[in-house]
Structure 1
Amino acid sequence: MSGQMVSRVEGQELVLEREFDAPRELVFRAFAEADHLRNWWGPRGWELTVCNIDFRPGGVWHYCMKCEDESQGDFYGYESWGKAVYVEIAEPDQFVYTDYFSDAEGKESEEMPSSRITMLFEEHNGSTKLISRASYDSAEALRTVLDMGMEQGIAETWDRLDEYVQTLR
């Protein structure tokens, strides 16, 4: 594995960082194309069963993760829908989007917090340092997603990303 994810909270922002032993353009593309996302997005035991992406400013990514791992107990068979609305894209340096929990029709959840996420891709001698900065409207909103296990879920997702990009090198 290229590196472990490091996380910290800065006010109402969750900052996640990890180094990947892969070129920046490849790591960036893994986030921008459905054919890549289907291979790694989601924590272990979850598969991306729906992945519709329009990767451009104003475009939307609507997806569904489904738990396919019977050992995850009550989560087995559960579907989790999400929606991203892209605000800014500066390939291969960064992109910014608003992240929502949603339903199958793409209606944004009013019960769950949304966040504005900036994804930064920094090149370091052929490797890529990925920095995610997720800003929430309140400390309570941030606490809600932390209590749900967001850090562990993203760590497992980025482990899968690392394994996937190694197959493409």
Structure 2
Amino acid sequence: MNTQNPVTGTDDLVITRTFSAPRSRVFAAFADKSRFIRWWGPPGVSVDEAIWTATPGDDFRVVMRGQEGTYILVGRFIAVEPDHRLVFSWAWETDGVPGHESEVTLTFDDNGPQTRMTLVHSGLPDTDAVEKHTEGWAGCLDRLTAFLDT
């Protein structure tokens, strides 16, 4: 689902997924570097290097490799509420320079023995970016599902 953000006038990407795992485990898959690097990225993409400590104010950098080349994601952790919410900025780095910055908010809620996660990726510059990130996030979350099922 995509929505127009009335405050920023930009497109927001909203995805809700339910995982067959407790909330603490789903949150840890994002917050713990050793878990994160095992599933992160859409199919065919692997993490080559990651600076990833989910602490408010800490910068992160994730270097990924896929068939079409290397992708570098950079940002800063804004809010970390263990097992409940994770907020971070998001920018693709090209030639050592971060591009357009957007923001990702993940919320984790109990849904019986499962976890319902809502992802809001706000501040994307246009509809094309929303479409590309929708595809990328879908692939990442499919891999997260497989990771949690093992």
TM-score normalised by structure 2 residue count: 0.89
Runs of 4 or more above 3 Å deviation: none
Name the structure 2 match of 1:130: 117
Match of 2:98 among 108, 111, 116: 108
Structure 2 residue identity aligned to 1:161: L
CA distance in 2 between counterparts of 1:104 and 1:126 reads 44
Name the structure 2 match of 1:21: 20
CA distance in 2 between counterparts of 1:44 and 1:13 reads 23
| Deviations 1:51-97 (CA, angstroms, capped at 9, x unpaired) | 111210001221011115xxxxxx2xx00100120111111110111
CA distance in 2 between counterparts of 1:125 and 1:60 reads 34
Which structure features the higher share of strand residues? Answer: 2
Cα offset, 1:103, TM superposition: 4.3
Q: Secondary structure at the match of 1:89?
A: strand
**5+ residue gaps in structure 2?**
6-10
**5+ residue gaps in structure 1?**
1-6, 69-74
Cα offset, 1:14, TM superposition: 1.3
Match of 1:9 among 3, 10, 22: 3
| Deviations 1:133-153 (CA, angstroms, capped at 9, x unpaired) | 12216xxx0324135x22111
TM-score normalised by structure 1 residue count: 0.79
Change over 3 Å in CA distance of 1:35–1:104 after alignment to 2: farther
Match of 1:150 among 108, 116, 133: 133
8 Å contact from structure 1 (residues 14, 142) kept in 2: no
Q: Secondary structure at the match of 1:102?
A: strand
Structure 2 residue identity aligned to 1:120: T
Name the structure 2 match of 1:71: none
Aligned residues: 145
8 Å contact from structure 1 (residues 13, 142) kept in 2: no
Cα offset, 1:8, TM superposition: 2.7
Name the structure 1 match of 2:8: none
RMSD: 1.7
Structure 2 residue identity aligned to 1:162: T
Percent sequence identity is 22
